[in-house]
Structure 1
Amino acid sequence: MVSEEESVLLDLVQVFTGYLLCSCALAAVALISIIWFIRDSLHIHGIDEKHVLVTGCDSGFGDLAARQLDQRGFRVIAACLTEPGASRLRAAASPRLQTVLLNVTDSASVGSALEFVRNETGERGLWGLVNNAGISVPIGPTEWMQVDDFKKVLDVNLMGVIEVTLTFLPLLKKARGRVANVASILGRLSLIGGGYCLSKWGVEAFSDSLRRDMLHFGVKVSIIEPGFFKTQVTDLGLIEDDLKKRWNALPVEVRRSYGDSYLQEYTKLQAFSVGLLCSSDISKVTSCMQHALSARNPRTRYAAGWDAKLFWIPLSYVPTCVADFITGLLLPSPKDT
């Protein structure tokens, strides 16, 4: 039999042990957090001697990233699709920034950009490559798409990323540099039909394999996963015009299966969700690009935007039935179902 005094003593020992374990766990978490913060805050030296190539600089993330990296002191080579886009960027940046015309779907254009960059970087090699160029339209219900619609988006968002990366990889290896590929939260959670989600899932997979392959060569690869931001990718005017054309081109029996009001309800919900979630502060994305290029220890993945961190990425981890229910609230139901 255990006496009352011994029972009290055992209870005290258990309480003290529990308190000690909790304190040790909290101390360990605090220590790890401090170490992570310090490690995350360390930056490279000699930025003014390092060249970085950013694609898709005519507008949006690419345009702002090029200007910010230029202000930071990097030797920026901004790849633009059009000469007007390049001219606007040169006018807004320092004389140090260089521009080059680049169509990521054209191998000859990629080759010309390589020669330009090689001449600029010399023996130093290319420190950073930011694969930012991308398109979204056409997106919409899968049944409304043609095979060429998928190819159009995949050629820019995925095959363009792959070809540009492979082309510039020798220069990146020479500098033991960085690659930052812009994927999306839609590379974790497919919310809509068309090639966009497919392309971003592909960017995620390509980046993961590239990171592991390049580990031994000192080239570090990061993936940037933006949430919803106000750029051309989320331009409701472009998206709605394309959806109307697709709806009008559908066979009568297909339109009838969805119901006469489906297109209106679909575009209305798209406008609501984009208006609710889209942030105009695109610097949240370009800050991730800067960190990936300038941090001594760049992160493997960067979630950009409150919706990515607090909603979309957590949603990608829940059971599929739960994710399907929640995402289903963002889409209307066809009338025949």
Structure 2
Amino acid sequence: MITFFNPTCNGPLGWLCVGITALFGVTVLCTAKRSPVGKENILVWSLLPVLLGLLCVAMLGTGVGLVVFCTSCLVSSMYLSSTVLLPVGDKAVLITGSDTGIGHALAKYLDSLGFVVFAGVLNKDGPGAKELRRACSQRLSLLQLDVTNAKQVKEAFLKVSEKVQNTGLWGVVNNAGILGFPADGELLPVSTYRMCMEVNFFGAVEVSKTFLSLLRKSRGRLVNMSSMAGGIPLPRYAAYGASKAALAMFSGVMRQELSKWGIKVAAIHPSGFRTGIQGTSDMWDKQEKELIENLPEDTRHAYGDEYLLGLKSYLLHMPAYCDANLSPVLNAVLHALLAKRPHGLYTPGKGAYLPLCIFCCFPLWFYDFFISKMMSSQPVPRALRTSEAESKNH
């Protein structure tokens, strides 16, 4: 028979349970009040342990029920502590690569929340910069910032230092990045590897090292935009993935080293978002021409012109498989900037979990098999098609 919970009948343990419930409820309400986002999730996470605990007390008795209830409150409190966001106030954030894509959307988003935004752009007179001037408040400042240009990085530092003065800079978001031309690693010219490393890795390192003195003043945040391709191996992303993997490792080491200064470091690994990073048709034509012209004759013959020319179609169809809604990425960056306890790694995007779980939890041969099946619709090099045809004939 179920005996419903009555604190009077259950003695001191019953009143202890009531006290814990009240304390937890007050904590949740204070948390929800301070947090500018995610109030719905907070209320859900507050009600679940209370209902679970009371049900356990009613069915299992006060002693066992209280243990279960306290455990559920502890788990819920750990989650709630990660949802508490600091007030925006007059916090200043530098974002690189704000011309297009995630950087552009992030500059608008943070500006709308009240941040003082320094938007670094590759072209201060380009359409992206003009749109930021039109759509954002007077708090936003545009900076001419090519992250591969040490002089421009230094000039940007001086301009930001002049504006933030003794308060320091709260956040640096290393977002600037390039994709290059997705192709087999054997086909990519070394210049593509160098270009990806210069922008995606060395550029982020240059900006980080230059602005760390301002982050130290505010005990702020360093956020690096890596990629799912930097965490797991993906075909056709040898150059891009290697540069993002280097950035991810840099983020991990800096997270450990900068913690003594009170600076928190996070890496964002988005997957499957439509950002425009793949570039324009003219850029593809130029990169395709460079790729084909620099191939050794035997390599070009083995792959065949049909395979090589088909690489561009992969780029053309890529946006169709990507999510146009960048909100998960923007929310991840916001959490990394404002959470009292930010995560070291964020993986926004629905497509990230399955391949990431398989890569981490299964043997490598199974992961390789899984990826090969995902890529099975891609064209086959000429030499392999010829050998397959010959084996069938025999």
TM range (shorter): 0.7 to 0.9
Work out the CA distance in 2 between the residues paired with 1:134 and 1:243: 19
1:39 and 2:86 aligned: no
Normalization by structure 2: what TM-score? 0.74
For 1:315, the equivalent position in structure 2 comes to 358
The one-letter code sitting in structure 2 at the alignment partner of 1:142 is G
Match of residue 333 from structure 1: 380
Counterpart in the other structure of 1:129: 172
Q: Does 1:277 align with 2:321?
A: yes
Structure 1 position 276, deviation (Å) = 5.5
1:61 alignment counterpart: 102
For 1:306, the aligned partner's letter is: K
Q: 1:163 aligns with which of 184, 194, 206?
A: 206
What is the root-mean-square deviation of aligned Cα atoms in Å?
2.6
Partner in structure 2 of residue 108 of structure 1: 151
Aligned-partner SS, 1:158: helix
Greater relative CO (CA pairs within 8 A, separation 6+): 1
Unaligned runs of at least 5 residues, structure 2: 1-58, 385-394
2:119 maps to 1:78 = yes
Partner of 1:97 in structure 2? 140
1:290 aligns with 2:334: yes
Identity of aligned pairs, percent?
A: 32
Shift of 1:301: 0.9
Unpaired stretches in structure 1, ≥5 consecutive residues: 1-18
Counterpart pick for 2:298 among 253, 270, 284: 253
The answer to whether the 8 Å contact 1:64/1:283 transfers is no
Residue 224 of structure 2 corresponds to residue 181 of structure 1: yes
Following TM superposition, by how much is the alpha carbon of 1:143 offset from its aligned partner in structure 2, in angstroms? Answer: 1.7
2:252 corresponds to:
208
> Aligned to 1:52, which of 82, 93, 100?
93
Against the structure 1 CA distance between its residues 255 and 175, is the aligned structure 2 distance closer, same or farther, given a 3 Å change threshold? same
Deviates more, 1:162-171 or 1:319-328: 319-328
Residue 88 of structure 1, CA deviation: 2.0
Q: TM-score by structure 1 length?
A: 0.85
Larger radius of gyration: 2
CA offsets 1:169-217 (integer angstroms, 9 cap, x no match): 0110110000110000001112124421111000110000000001111
Helix, strand or coil at the partner of 2:169? coil
CA contact (8 A) 1:105 1:159 kept: yes
User: How far is 1:145 from its partner?
Assistant: 2.1
What is the CA distance between 1:265 and its match in structure 2?
A: 5.0
CA distance in 1, matches of 2:276, 2:95: 17
Structure 2 Cα separation of the partners of residues 198 and 27 of structure 1: 47
1:41-66 CA-partner distances (Å, limit 9, x unpaired): 21113x23211111110111011111
Question: Number of residue pairs matched?
Answer: 315
Structure 1 residues 108 and 260, CA, compared in 2 at 3 Å: closer, same or farther? closer
Matches within 5 A, 1:221-240: 221-235=265-279, 237=281, 240=284
